[in-house]
Amino acid sequence: MIVAIYVLTGLYGMAPLPFIVFVLLIQPQTGPSFWDTGILTITRLDRLPLLPKIIPNFGLNEAFMVFGAFGLAFNINSRYYALYLVELLLTTKTSVT
């Protein structure tokens, strides 16, 4: 299972290991309802008076989907920008010579 998480997320090294261990230890005790728990509830930020009014208390599964969407959008944007810079560099080199 850990190997599948590394392959699917593209993470290499030891960085995600503490999170994976945490999830594998907590989930059997709480069951699937663990993923329905709000992100503000897990972090105990729902106790602050103004924060729950500004940020909705998404479930962990929805919070990870939003995080993944932002990560994917950033990755696409950064790759597009890198290709744009390479194309700009190639066109300036060919126009100069």
Is pLDDT larger for residue 22 or for residue 14?
A: 22
Query: How far apart (Å, rounded) are the C-alpha atoms in residues 91 and 81?
Result: 15
Global confidence as pTM: 0.58
How confident is the model at residue 95, as a pLDDT? 60
What's the token pair of residue 71?
């990560």
Judged against a pLDDT cut of 80, whether residue 14 lies above it is answered with no
C-alpha 44/C-alpha 52 separation (Å) is 11
Q: What is the pLDDT of residues 49-87, one digit of tens each?
A: 888 888 888 888 888 888 889 989 999 999 999 999 999
CB 76 within 8 A of CB 64: no
Share of the chain above pLDDT 90, in %: 13
Task: Say what the pLDDT of residue 64 is.
Answer: 84
| Residue 1 pLDDT level (bands cut at 50, 70, 90) | very low
